[in-house]
Amino acid sequence: MQVGIDSFAAAFDDSRAVSPQERLRNLVEQIEHADQVGLDAFGVGEHHRREFLDSAPAVILGAAAARTQRIRLTSAVTVLSAADPVRVFQNFATIDLLSQGRAEMIVGRGSSIEAFPLFGFRLEDYDALFAEKLDLLLKIRESEHVHWSGQYRPALTGQGIYPRPVQHPLPIWLGVGGTPGSFARAGALGLPLMVAVIGGESRRFRPLVDLYRRSWAAARARRGPAHRRRAFARLCR
């Protein structure tokens, strides 16, 4: 079992006496302390609201990478629907290099919607954006040169995506809430699952986790032994 912490980088406490620059400095120091006491992972969320300072989590994790030795550094989550998968991969590949192979990302559609109008996306395309961008992100992870086309982003015609990370493959988890289709998608893609239980009883997620496992098993049976070995290696990271 691994133990870690996720933070949403709140911009202020109840007293509102701490400045944003002090809050961010304190957050990096907290990640450094978590590393020193032996925690396994530290995640930083992504929000685009006044109450939070985590609109650029990769920058925070990059600062932490330079001040830690063993703790794994992850997003919690990256709102992939409103991001460019090329830039997301480049950011976390850079963190992976700075940390000597300790970066991970958890990608999801996001539990809040402010990123969509901010970056010019339609909320009506909520799931289609995520599905397409996840497909591209996984192709970038697998190949240095990518041929790809989609609806929401200009095509890639063999361009190289750099830098490449230390880890191959760079760990990518799928962050999900309570939507059955999201659990099934994670299993079908052979991706590790991060269940975001923000409220309610965790036992109600058991049927959804069972759905994830069934989807994983069905996809594994279709893909054959070589893929099963790669998928198991990813799951165990």
Domain ranges, ordered by start, for the chain: 4-170
Q: What is the topology classification, in CATH, of domain 4-170?
A: TIM Barrel (3.20.20)
pLDDT of res. 103: 98
Backbone dihedral region of 116: left (phi > 0), alpha (psi from -120 to 50 degrees) or beta?
A: alpha
Q: Which residues contact 71 (CB under 8 A, 6 or more apart)?
A: 4, 31, 34, 35, 39, 40, 41, 42, 102
Phi, psi of 107 (to 5 degrees): -110, 145
pTM, whole model, 2 decimals?
0.90
Please give the chain's pLDDT, 237 residues, in tens.
889 999 999 997 766 778 999 999 999 999 999 999 999 999 999 999 999 999 999 999 999 999 999 999 999 999 999 999 999 999 999 999 999 999 999 999 877 889 999 999 999 999 999 999 999 999 999 999 999 999 999 999 999 999 999 999 999 999 998 889 999 999 999 999 998 877 777 788 889 999 999 999 999 888 765 554 454 444 444
- Check: CB of residue 72 under 8 Å from CB of residue 40: yes
